[in-house]
Amino acid sequence: MRLPLPPKDSGYTGTFSPVLHPTIMIDTISRFLRAVAFAVLALFGMAMALAFMISTAIAIGILYIVAKVRGKPFGVRAYWSQRQNARPGSFRPAGAASSSAFTPPRGEVIDVEAREIH
């Protein structure tokens, strides 16, 4: 039965000090600095997302208050139809009536509308 080898010694007699290779130390410091940089960037990104959510909530609150002061209902459909009627479309001039041949029927809000042009 063999005995285990004694731990490496630093060279001084009688004192035990494990020897760390310099590349192991540099690699450890490099990994630690990368982890710290990643954590800082992640916190910065979360702070930006939080600022965006807060500003969006403030904007919706302002829209809600303005709609209540004007006495109009606040909803996606009402806001969407108001914005669509306020700006001229690409197929109708600014003075044209809203009942042109290119006006889609007012039902649900549609994200994408595809048309074939022959």
For the chain, give every domain's residue range: 22-84
Q: Can you give the pTM of this predicted structure?
A: 0.44
∠ CA(48), CA(41), CA(23), 5° rounding? 180
Residue 64 has pLDDT above 90, yes or no: no
The residue assigned the tokens 């009942």 is 99
Distance (Å, whole) CA 89 – CA 83:
11
At 34 the pLDDT is 96
Note the pLDDT tens digit of each residue in 6-60.
666 555 555 555 566 667 778 889 999 999 999 999 999 999 999 999 999 999 8
Tell me the C-alpha to C-alpha distance, in Å, between residue 14 and each of 9, 17, 90, 95, 115.
Answer: 9, 10, 89, 98, 88
User: H or E stretch including 52?
Assistant: helix 22-70
